[in-house]
Chains A and B, each alone.
Chain A
Amino acid sequence: MRSRLLLRVTALGYLTALLLVPVAMIGYRTFAHGIAPVWDALTTPAAQHALYLSVLVTAIAVPVNVVFGVVAGIALARRRMPAPRLVDLLINLPFAMSPVVIGLALFTLYGRGGWVGDWLAAHGLQVLFSIPGLVLATAFVCLPFVVREIVPVVEEIGAEQEQAAATLGANGWTTFWRITLPALRWALAYGVVLSTARALGEFGAVSIVSGDIVGQTQTLPLLVDERFRNFDATGAYSAGFALAVISVLVLTAMTVLSRRKERPQ
């Protein structure tokens, strides 16, 4: 019994030192001088724009990946995907790549001297240091989350219900909307939550392609970094705290959804 207690104390002590105290610390540091400076820091035009930009980029990148994830996930699970090994590799590549290398890869394609960068610039389309670059970086980073949730569920539910619907005269769309999609809803929701968290918080890939122009291409995580480097601790902690609150919400959603996901239908 004593050894059990020792193990418990060691494990919880490790978690406390590494996770709990640091995360509690950010709340303390943020509100060290009261609420007013935090409110001021979060309502500056730069902070407002950073929040708007983060939400905008997420609102474009995540839905695109959801459509891709559902279509590709069903095709992969039903063995209808051409070149499945290559597709599998490409889907998992964002997990194997450093965010910085992802940003750099986009740089070598769309930047000056890149494969298509100069041509696009000559035709008036600026990808890097503007919103398209941010969206591409975010979509790249979040790519695996939805599709990886979808594939195992489609494999598990099988095709019997869809076949039954087809025998009863339902066309492809009806079957998809009434049979397939409802069966996928919890896995899909879980994937969306993971993608959204990652999209809102992405730093490395975005920092390479954004140019970090205040009020133009600065997302919320980039604002945290820039405020901190400019010795504006309150600004950095306030934005960091806002992001931490979002991640606690995400964590709650993850916990609820993963329970739903595992419950038999």
Chain B
Amino acid sequence: MKLYVKSFSSYKSDIDKLDVKKELKQTYKQDTRRKDAFIHLAMLGIVKLKDKIDINPMDELYMTSGVGNIDILQRVDEYVNGQGQCIKPFDFINILGNTTSYYVAHAVGLKGKNIFQTSEYFTFIHSLISIYSSISTSKKEAILGSIDLSHEPKEILQRVLDVPTKYELLSSVNYQYLSLESSDALASLEFDIKIYSHDEIKTLLKNITCDVITSPRCINLELQKETYFFENLPSYLINKYIEDNSDLLYIDCFKNKYKILKLTSMKK
């Protein structure tokens, strides 16, 4: 399966030191009321994408996240279970996953298909498979937004991520504008439903000449890993490599089952 990246936007909390809510209000004139940090982050990514490419109202929107909006769950737990108060209507609404994708769509006038989805592992690659499948039928173009919010205390996230505790947990939001058509594309992405064994990955790597980065979960592969983690790390990395006009092979892993994502830059 192959998709072409026509445009992208990225935000990562250790590099982009900005007040997300203030940026949305002042630079992008977005209404930030009744929304929380997770939704603000998702909105920032889409308005940054709109700066770079025209978005058709009927483009399909897919949003994915590792653990979703953990902030809202903790806040509601604190005042409902901790203090015995009643849940507030807008907090209840914000707990629903698709509230985020609604506000993302609303921020840029999208009115088409809008799916908020999560896979336990390989969530970014699985979302690409969903998009490929969907736009092969609809003949439209699609936007994939991947959002992960770091959270304090980090001990909660560490208990649901299956990543060694030495990795710094960051917030990041990354979007790609995706198409089946190669014209004006910045890069192509190749992926599959195929699961590779450890031995198959070792064999595959013998013929790879581009950079290879693996997920921190690939503990049995002695290859380059980043020092930080968020579930949609591959979404950030492909944007970074497109920016650098470079190719990348990303390897993700779940208990010695591997999936690969191949980025080929088209602007070299």
A joins B in a complex: no
Residues of B within 8 A of A (CB): none
